[in-house]
């Protein structure tokens, strides 16, 4: 019998944990090779957990971050056994520790043949195209190093892309040494001198990281943060009691943003009347967010993105309490100045960048800085992503961006929908690219569950392919 093959493109959390879950599938042995394609120096950490800076913390406590949904203590046990818990502050550990954890988990799968017969190998390159197999079913994945991988099934686990360019054309400033378009790139802050003036665009978790990084580097220059809503991520409340779900009784069937908001507000008020913070009320919505999102027609989803997504993001994606406290101090002491509005134009001069910030109903504001750092969050609008693989699949009509710019169109299992809404038998995706289906498809709890269900589905597909061959 011919060996089957699955190619996973992208070896961050999503792709690596999919490989780990494939290796854990039970049942009759598989005759299958799993190819994990990742250009970084090691698979596992991906974009989020690569940065080697001790002040970059995970935004939820370690107890919520096991790689395995059915083994909730797994990460905490790993921290204890390896001694990496020394790096944690009040239950919040460093992202670099988490990267090492993931690297070790996927490393075991790469080093040892799995009990179920799957053989996983890492290709330290990037995928440039996925094309139909000219010699039969399946596809051929072409790597940047020239290698071709014949694949029965292909999974796109491409993750988060650097933030969108912040202004309309012209974009001459993109090549200026003081413009930092990718705050997560290695050494992103290294060219900033202690006395340089720095402008951050955006006030979410990335801006928090950048400010903590600059503070740790002894930065003394002027720090300004421009954002449309002017809010900062709320502080996490570890140990807050849970709040009961009210989806089935009050939210099911609500098809407008306004109706859902009204019910949620009532519950926040009820919680406050009982002396509870608002955070557990929002957290209780989390398992039901895909159903709430799917219950809204496109126009309502668009309304939510226009009016509430910015606020939702700072309420839902919280800072470790210690980080929130430092940001509060930086603001209160005037060390960090805030501007409301969005960058409309950036003009580069020899040493500086001149930025115009606009806000509806207010006069434009201009300021000069030696460095501008885009902290507006990952770009997931697949209409605009210029990665060669994404461009090739988009032009071939195999990857269809959603109309709201959140990710790719998929069916409920993560199979890509083509231009005629036909689900692919070959191409699947996992990770933030699935936001159009769920809205929240970003954090570890959602992604580890996707890895389990997608691994099972791919296992079934392999069995079907093997059955068809007998």
H helices present in 224-316, as ranges: 257-273, 279-285, 289-294, 298-307, 309-316
Residue placing its CB nearer to ligand FAD in the complex, 370 or 441: 441
* Binding string, residues 108-127; x marks residues near ligand FAD by CB under 6 A: ------------------xx
Stretch that binds ligand FAD, among 4-12, 188-196, 355-363, 365-373 (CB under 6 A): 4-12
Question: Using CB atoms within 10 A of its CB, is residue 230 exposed (0-12), middle (13-18) or buried (19+)?
Answer: middle
Q: Does 210 bind ligand FAD (CB under 6 A)?
A: no
- The SS3 of residue 18 is helix
Cα separation, 402 vs 382, in Å, equals: 8
Q: Total number of residues binding ligand FAD (CB under 6 A)?
A: 33
Q: Does 99 bind ligand FAD (CB under 6 A)?
A: no
CB of 316 to ligand FAD, least distance (A): 11
Cα separation, 332 vs 64, in Å, equals: 31
Cα separation, 269 vs 66, in Å, equals: 33
Residues of this chain, 142-181, that bind ligand FAD according to CB under 6 A: 157-160
Among 431, 434, 436, 451, binds ligand FAD (CB under 6 A): 431
Cα separation, 35 vs 26, in Å, equals: 19
Query: What does the DSSP 8-state code read for residue 410?
Result: B
CB of 466 to ligand FAD, least distance (A): 27
Q: Does 196 bind ligand FAD (CB under 6 A)?
A: no
| 9 DSSP β-pair partners | 37, 156
Stretch that binds ligand FAD, among 71-79, 282-290, 365-373, 442-450 (CB under 6 A): 442-450
Q: Does 13 bind ligand FAD (CB under 6 A)?
A: yes
| 338 DSSP β-pair partners | 225
Residues of this chain, 261-320, that bind ligand FAD according to CB under 6 A: none
Sign for the CA dihedral angle at 162, 164, 169, 173 comes to: negative
Task: Identify the CA nearest to 309 among candidates 406, 182, 408.
Answer: 406
Residues of this chain, 341-380, that bind ligand FAD according to CB under 6 A: 378
Among 33, 38, 196, 402, binds ligand FAD (CB under 6 A): 38
Cα separation, 355 vs 369, in Å, equals: 8
Q: Does 48 bind ligand FAD (CB under 6 A)?
A: yes
**Interaction site with ligand FAD (CB under 6 A):** 9-15, 37-40, 46-48, 58-60, 126-127, 157-160, 184, 378, 387, 389, 431-432, 442-444, 447
């Amino acid at each position: 019998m011919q060996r089957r093959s699955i190619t996973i493109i992208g070896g961050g959390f999503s792709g690596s944990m999919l490989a780990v879950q494939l290796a854990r599938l039970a049942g009759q042995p598989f005759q299958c090779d799993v190819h994990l394609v990742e250009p970084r120096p090691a698979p596992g950490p991906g974009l989020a957990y690569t940065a080697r800076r001790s002040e970059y913390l995970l935004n939820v406590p370690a107890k919520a971050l096991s790689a395995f949904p059915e083994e909730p203590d797994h990460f905490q046990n790993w921290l204890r056994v390896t001694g990496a818990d020394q790096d944690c502050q009040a239950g919040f550990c460093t992202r670099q520790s988490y990267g090492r954890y993931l690297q070790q988990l996927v490393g075991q799968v790469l080093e040892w043949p799995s009990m179920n017969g799957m053989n996983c190998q890492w290709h330290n390159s990037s995928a440039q195209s996925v094309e139909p197999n000219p010699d039969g079913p399946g596809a051929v994945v072409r790597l940047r190093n020239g290698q071709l991988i014949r694949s029965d099934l292909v999974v796109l686990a491409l993750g988060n892309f650097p933030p969108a360019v912040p202004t309309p054309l012209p974009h001459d400033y993109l090549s200026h040494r003081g413009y930092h378009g990718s705050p997560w790139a290695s050494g992103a802050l290294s060219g900033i001198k202690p006395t340089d003036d720095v402008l951050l665009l955006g006030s979410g978790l990335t801006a928090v990281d950048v400010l903590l990084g600059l503070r740790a580097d002894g930065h003394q220059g002027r720090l300004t943060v421009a954002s449309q809503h002017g809010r900062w991520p709320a502080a996490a409340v570890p140990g807050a009691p849970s709040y009961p779900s009210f989806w089935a009784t009050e939210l099911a069937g609500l098809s407008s943003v306004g109706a859902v908001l009204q019910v949620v507000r009532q519950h926040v008020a009820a919680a406050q009347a009982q002396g509870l913070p608002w955070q557990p009320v929002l957290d209780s919505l989390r398992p039901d967010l895909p159903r709430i999102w799917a219950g809204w027609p496109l126009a309502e989803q668009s309304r939510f993105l226009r009016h509430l997504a910015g606020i939702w993001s700072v309420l839902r994606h919280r800072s470790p309490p210690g980080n929130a406290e430092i940001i509060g101090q930086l603001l209160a002491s005037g060390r960090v100045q805030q501007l409301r509005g969005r960058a409309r134009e950036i003009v580069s001069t020899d040493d500086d960048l001149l930025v115009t910030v606009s806000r509806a109903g207010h006069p434009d504001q201009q300021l000069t800085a030696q460095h501008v750092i885009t902290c507006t969050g990952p770009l997931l609008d697949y209409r605009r992503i210029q990665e060669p693989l994404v461009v090739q699949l988009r032009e071939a009509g195999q990857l269809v961006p959603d109309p709201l710019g959140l990710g790719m169109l998929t069916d409920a299992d993560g199979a890509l929908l083509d231009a005629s809404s036909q689900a692919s038998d070959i191409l699947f995706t996992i990770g933030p690219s699935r936001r159009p289906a769920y809205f929240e498809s970003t954090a570890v709890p959602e992604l580890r569950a996707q890895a389990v269900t997608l691994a099972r589905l791919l296992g079934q597909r392999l069995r079907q392919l093997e059955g068809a061959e007998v």
